[in-house]
Amino acid sequence: MDTKKFNNKVDHNLNLQGELGVLREKIDQIDTEILDLLNERAKKAIKIAKTKIANKMEFYAPDRELKIYERLVNINKGPFPDRAIKPVFKEIISASLSLEKPIHVAYLGPKATFTHLASISHFGQSSNFVQKRNIPEIFSEVERDRVDFGVVPIENSTEGVVSNTLDMFIESNLKICAEILLEISHHLMSKTGKMEDIEKVYSHPHAIAQCRNWLDRNLPNIPIIDVASTALAAKSASDDHSVAAIASEYAASCYDLKIVKRKTEDNINNFTRFLVIGKREPEKSGNDKISIMFSIKDEVGILYRMLEPFAKNNVNLTKIESRPLKKKAWEYMFFLDLEGHISDKNVKKALEELDKKSLFLKVLGSYPRSN
């Protein structure tokens, strides 16, 4: 053995451990300072809660949250990444809100559906989440004040609109308070994690449709079975070794499954938009969107005349969707998303002109856009 080389290696390792020890000690000190500051922030949140209670103010303010994230990103000097600021501070704000008043949120269950993930991403882990079986139940829970808010899917970038949600807005007086954009990744999972053990695949019809090409190529002779949700598929796979599920990574961890294949979706740019529904609209944030619905009779050139006020008043439309009215033949309900806030002069003028031409007009909400 070369004693000199051995001693040099020992000295190097000792020096390395010494340097790491010093850095780790500094990180521990910084973590302690962060914890102290979080507790100071929590004390201020409790004082704010008392002020809100005394003045009967709303606890949840998505417009305020948006401004917090934007300000922090603008002043961030790095190297802490901008993209990490929102999720970190989302949990800080969620924990602070739980000290003021725990927020109760209804979502499309069971646990670990994509609606559940969207709810967590928007409200944070410290909120209380209530799973419901279907979209009408979510609307009902909010309307009856059993929860503060509901989260419902509205559209997917590849599969299109969720008709059930649109139909609920026709009768409901609830308002859209916020929107959530969630990137969707579908994973094939099972109890064993082995492709050769798979005899059936369960998932929600939308998830199956989004993975159809992959399934046809890789599991051409395996039965694909529709179930009510991706989470229910994962739960079924946890009870049967021959069943695989297409679901989220969160579902795999919740139901103790192993990932067989990651990212089985055919389109990598796969997003689902969700809406937060409640009884009150947020304040103007400066980066807002408005959703409306209106009905018309089917006449030649009628849609052009209905959309004319927006072009004339320089209001940008981001989405238009039509639904036939179930109670009246040859009449249609249109759903529009437009940029701006309900208090903007050009928006007000456009809606006033539209109201004169339509059979029915309803503003569903004016809320901060999702970033």
CATH of the domain at 208: 3.40.190.10
Residue 236 forms part of a structural domain: yes
**Same-domain status, 71 and 87:** yes
> What percent of the residues of the chain are helix, what percent strand, and what percent coil, each to the nearest 5?
45, 25, 30
The answer to whether the Cα torsion of 356, 361, 295, 352 is positive or negative is positive
Q: What is the pLDDT of residues 79-119, one digit of tens each?
A: 999 989 988 988 888 888 787 778 899 999 889 999 999 99
The dihedrals phi and psi of 210, each to the nearest 5 degrees, come to: -75, -15
**Number of independent structural domains in the chain:** 3
Domain final residue pick, 234, 252, 280: 280
**Same-domain status, 141 and 211:** no
Q: Which of 212-226, 242-256, 356-370 has the lowest mean pLDDT?
A: 356-370
Is the model's pLDDT at 20 over the cut of 90? Answer: no
> Percent of the chain having pLDDT more than 90?
59
Q: DSSP assignment, residue 102?
A: P
Residue 4 forms part of a structural domain: no
pLDDT at 22: 84
**Same-domain status, 147 and 191:** no
pLDDT band at 326 (very low <50, low <70, confident <90, very high): low
Residue 121 forms part of a structural domain: yes
**Same-domain status, 233 and 353:** no
Q: In whole numbers, what is the pLDDT of the chain averaged over residues?
A: 88
Is the model's pLDDT at 335 over the cut of 60? Answer: yes
Is the model's pLDDT at 2 over the cut of 70? Answer: no
Report the pLDDT averaged over residues 53-61: 76
Is the model's pLDDT at 264 over the cut of 70? Answer: yes
Report the pLDDT averaged over residues 186-191: 96
**Same-domain status, 156 and 275:** yes
**Same-domain status, 291 and 337:** yes
**Same-domain status, 70 and 179:** yes
Please give, one letter per residue, the 3-state secondary structure of the chain: CCHHHHHHHHHHHHHHHHHHHHHHHHHHHHHHHHHHHHHHHHHHHHHHHHHHHHCCCCCCCHHHHHHHHHHHHHHCCCCCCHHHHHHHHHHHHHHHHHHHCCCEEEEECCCCCHHHHHHHHHHCCCCEEEEECCHHHHHHHHHCCCCCEEEEEEEECCCEECHHHHHHHHHCCCEEEEEEEEECCCEEEECCCCHHHCCEEEECHHHHHHCHHHHHHHCCCCCEEECCCHHHHHHHHHHCCCEEEEECHHHHHHCCCEEEECCCCCCCCCEEEEEEEECCCCCCCCCEEEEEEEEEECCCCHHHHHHHHHHHCCCCEEEEEEEECCCCCCEEEEEEEEECCCCCHHHHHHHHHHHHHCCEEEEEEEEECCC
Residue 296 forms part of a structural domain: yes
Report the pLDDT averaged over residues 299-316: 87
Report the pLDDT averaged over residues 210-233: 94
Residue 136 forms part of a structural domain: yes
Report the pLDDT averaged over residues 286-301: 85
pLDDT at 157: 80
**Domain with 202 in it:** 187-261
Whole-angstrom CA distances from 211 to 34, 129, 156, 224 are: 43, 29, 14, 11
pLDDT band at 330 (very low <50, low <70, confident <90, very high): low
> Percent of the chain having pLDDT more than 70?
94
pLDDT at 97: 78
Provide the annotated active-site residues: 272, 274
**Same-domain status, 276 and 159:** yes
Number of DSSP helices (H) and strands (E) in the chain, helices first: 12, 15
Domain final residue pick, 206, 226, 261: 261
**Same-domain status, 82 and 165:** yes
**Same-domain status, 102 and 248:** no
Q: DSSP assignment, residue 174?
A: -
Question: Across 211-257, where does the E strand assignment appear?
Answer: 224-226, 243-247
